[in-house]
Amino acid sequence: MENAVHEPQQILVLGGRSDIGVAIARRLMSPNTRYVGLACRRPEDATTAVESLARPDVIVEALEFDATRVDEHRGFLDRVVSEHGDLDLVVLAFGQLGDQERFDEDPRSAATVVDVNYTSAVAVGLEVARRFRVQGHGTLVVLSSVAGERVRASNFVYGSSKAALDAFAQGLGDSLEGTGSRVLVVRPGFVHSSMTAGLKPAPFATTPDVVAEAVVTGLRNGRRIVWAPGILRWIFTVLRHVPHPIWRRLPLG
């Protein structure tokens, strides 16, 4: 359980190879932390991430987890809890970016990305909420994206999946009111990471560490939504209302 200053003992990152997810876990680790689980499809590929989080007296491990196997979510979470105790903080960090041109040619690949980014996230998010209700406490951090704030033609499948995830996470947070649990929605802009390697950075590009710092600040201040970097909140306040003919022509990637 978190202590008086909200330092989690048990942290679970769903999407344990995510640069942002690992950065958040690292930033939230404290002398109070006892366990960090990095859940991903290929645990053998998470060795570097595990080593980067290694601390005395802290169990850090990579766990096999396939988000698309929704019938296994409950058993997976129950096993982690039975072995390490209640989950204080869960980071939902898995997702796929994909390529819009490929989606246009192969709609099945688009369906796969939507399944990962939204359908699987809904399923595991509800399971995490069920666990939190049993515990009477817990925080779920959901990595959304500014790409879902106003979807662009260049990545509208990805953007639409993030828009749906963002709406779900907000609703899930509302449903947990009064349970001792909460949801923090994180809306990063372009983040320099393994997912975006080779892509042209968008304006106000940031890093996983900056996103992690925004998460920590948001948690401490009791926020429901955080932007990273923060200036994007104000930029999208304007962009939401730009007339559509102009929006289509903006050089936003």
Helix (H) / strand (E) containing 59: strand 59-64
Instruction: Summarize the confidence of residues 113-130 as an average pLDDT.
Output: 97
- The candidate with the shortest Cα–Cα distance to 124, out of 138, 140, 106, 148, is 140
In a domain, 5, yes or no: no
Asked if residue 74 has pLDDT above 60, the reply is yes
Confidence bin at 4 (pLDDT 50/70/90): very low
Residues 6+ apart with CB under 8 A from 33: 7, 8, 9, 10, 11, 55, 58
pLDDT of residue 28: 96
- The candidate with the shortest Cα–Cα distance to 127, out of 160, 80, 162, is 80
Structure tokens at 58: 């802290």
Instruction: List the CATH number of the domain containing 158.
Output: 3.40.50.720
What percent of the chain shows pLDDT beyond 70? 95
Domain count, the chain: 1
Instruction: Summarize the confidence of residues 45-61 as an average pLDDT.
Output: 95
Pairing between strand 89-92 and 35-40? unpaired
Please answer whether residues 181 and 132 qualify as being in contact, where contact means their C-beta atoms are separated by less than 8 angstroms. Answer: yes
pLDDT of residue 5: 53
Instruction: Summarize the confidence of residues 119-142 as an average pLDDT.
Output: 97
What is the distance between the alpha carbons of residues 160 and 217, in angstroms, rounded to a whole number? 27
In a domain, 182, yes or no: yes
What is the distance between the alpha carbons of residues 121 and 183, in angstroms, rounded to a whole number? 13
What percent of the chain shows pLDDT beyond 90? 76
In a domain, 45, yes or no: yes
In a domain, 2, yes or no: no
pLDDT digits (tens, 9 = 90+) for 209-251: 999 999 999 999 999 999 998 898 898 888 787 777 776 777 7
* 3 state SS of 58: coil
Asked if residue 67 has pLDDT above 80, the reply is yes
pLDDT digits (tens, 9 = 90+) for 142-155: 999 998 988 888 88
* 3 state SS of 27: helix
Range of the domain at 166: 10-247
In a domain, 151, yes or no: yes
pLDDT digits (tens, 9 = 90+) for 164-214: 999 999 999 999 999 999 999 999 987 877 777 667 777 778 899 999 999
In a domain, 3, yes or no: no
- The candidate with the shortest Cα–Cα distance to 225, out of 163, 170, 181, is 170
Strand partners, 183: 140
What is the distance between the alpha carbons of residues 248 and 154, in angstroms, rounded to a whole number? 10
Strand partners, 188: 228
CA quadruple 27, 138, 143, 60: dihedral sign: positive
What is the distance between the alpha carbons of residues 140 and 44, in angstroms, rounded to a whole number? 25
In a domain, 98, yes or no: yes
Q: Which sequence positions are flagged as catalytic?
A: 158
The answer, as to whether pTM is greater than 0.95, is no
In a domain, 252, yes or no: no
- Axis crossing angle, helix 156-175 with helix 120-135, rounded to the nearest 10: 20
**Mean of per-residue pLDDT scores for the chain:** 91
